[in-house]
Amino acid sequence: MFSNKKNNNMGKTQAINSPDTINIINSGTNITGDVNSGGDIRINGSLKGNIYAEGKVIIGSSGTIEGNINCSNADIEGTIQGKITIKSLLSLKSTARINGDIITSKLSVEPGAMFTGTCKMENSDNDKKVE
């Protein structure tokens, strides 16, 4: 009855929620609850809950998060109150406002970004050096 595939206008079948899918929560949208994504997600609205994403999380300048983020990579322009755990690269843009702890492998911070909390740098499993 339910399928993870849909037909497009040309008769071809596409996978729904594939890792290549980009999910967008636009400004003016308020969500309460956890978000799980197999791909990338961009939030320009408001979320009270946790984000778990296999791909990249982008928090736009109008985006606000009250909860934890766990993903592969992230670009933050908006406001986050919660713990951020990133497997690879976390980029804090100049408009970013973070109140919480960060765990990441790589960190990029633009001048003007504000961060209150602790930061722990850890190598991801893919980045560990063999001795």
- Span 79-85, average pLDDT: 98
Instruction: Evaluate whether residue 45 is within a structural domain.
Output: yes
Provide the number of structural domains found in the chain. 1
Q: Please state, rounded to an integer, the average pLDDT across all residues of the chain.
A: 86
Instruction: Evaluate whether residue 101 is within a structural domain.
Output: yes
> Which range marks the domain in which residue 78 is found?
17-111
Instruction: Evaluate whether residue 82 is within a structural domain.
Output: yes
Instruction: Evaluate whether residue 124 is within a structural domain.
Output: no
- CB atoms closer than 10 angstroms to residue 45: 19
Outline where 61-122 has alpha helix (H).
none
Instruction: Evaluate whether residue 87 is within a structural domain.
Output: yes
What are the tens digits of pLDDT across the range 85-124?
999 999 999 999 999 999 999 999 999 999 999 999 988 6
Instruction: Evaluate whether residue 3 is within a structural domain.
Output: no
Model pTM score: 0.79
- Span 56-65, average pLDDT: 97
Instruction: Evaluate whether residue 7 is within a structural domain.
Output: no
What is the secondary structure of 1-15 as a DSSP string?
---SEEE-TTS-EEE
